[in-house]
Amino acid sequence: MELDIVSGFQADPVGLLLTNRADLAIVSEVEPQAEVDYQPLFAYEMVAIMARDHKLAEKKRLSAQDFAGETLISYPVPDEMLDLVRKVLRPVSVNPARRTSELTVAIIQLVASRRGLAALPFWAVKPYLERGYVVARPIGEYGLNSELYAALRHDDASLAFMQDFLATVRERSFATLPGLSALEAAR
């Protein structure tokens, strides 16, 4: 098996599958198409992170309104790909100032230096929380949960090596990333 990772933002990862430029894509939403199978990887919580001395650090959890008047630091991707924007901010018309960075560590540094807030997976920020660089708070009354799926061409989904690869991804993810939960089969 040869593994070649296409890094960076891909505007249409499923399109890469359908044009045979990729054999598997990791996506956060299932968009039913006859040629594509979606297999669940895991669910995880997105948390708001902020500087330790930020005024919102005193709160137990953040609401959409807490982001108003703040600067949101995020990856440079369309809003439709940011669960915080799509699920929390847009429905109540909260539109904070924006700043982007391509690297998680750079986002953490910007947050720690009081340049704004971010929403990142708990598993990605846990080491920085443990070192006291930033603090995290749940978003919303029940937390902001996100999901990851593997998208595969329908004809490839049952191949033994693909199923083994997905099993390995799940196994290693659950063994090494804190706070994951299982997902049901794709809708």
92, 65 in Cβ contact below 8 A?
yes
CATH superfamily label, 44-144: Periplasmic binding protein-like II (3.40.190.10)
Q: What is the pLDDT of residue 186?
A: 56
Q: What is the pLDDT of residues 19-53, one digit of tens each?
A: 988 899 998 889 888 999 999 999 999 999 999 99
pLDDT band, residue 4 (cuts 50/70/90): low
- Strand partners of residue 136: 49
Give residue limits of the domains in the chain: 44-144
pLDDT band, residue 9 (cuts 50/70/90): low
* Phi and psi torsions of 179, nearest 5°: 80, 15
Task: Count CB neighbours of 52 within 10 A.
Answer: 11
Q: What is the pLDDT of residue 12?
A: 79
Q: What is the pLDDT of residue 184?
A: 77
Q: What is the pLDDT of residue 7?
A: 65
CA 114/CA 51 separation, integer angstroms: 6
pLDDT band, residue 2 (cuts 50/70/90): low
b (16+ CB within 10 A) / e for 138-172? bbbeeebebbbbbbbbeeebeeeebeebbeebbee
Q: What is the pTM of this model?
A: 0.86
Q: What is the pLDDT of residues 85-100, one digit of tens each?
A: 999 999 999 999 999 9
Q: SS3 sequence, the chain?
A: CCCCCCCCCCCCHHHHHHCCCCCEEEECCCCCECCEEEEEEEEEEEEEEECCCCHHHHCCCECHHHHCCCEEEECCCCHHHCHHHHHHHHHHCCCCEEEECCCHHHHHHHHHCCCCEEEEEHHHHHHHHHCCCCEEEEECCCCEEEEEEEEEEHHHCCCHHHHHHHHHHHHHHHHHCCCCECCCCCC
68, 94 in Cβ contact below 8 A?
yes
Residue 31, class by beta-carbon neighbours within 10 Å (0-12 exposed, 13-18 middle, 19+ buried)? exposed
pLDDT beyond 60 at 187:
no
pLDDT beyond 90 at 108:
yes
Q: What's the mean pLDDT in 50-68?
A: 97
pLDDT band, residue 15 (cuts 50/70/90): confident
Q: What is the pLDDT of residue 126?
A: 96
Q: What is the pLDDT of residues 110-138, one digit of tens each?
A: 999 999 999 999 999 999 999 999 999 99
Q: What is the pLDDT of residue 37?
A: 95
Q: What's the mean pLDDT in 142-171?
A: 94
CA 118/CA 70 separation, integer angstroms: 10
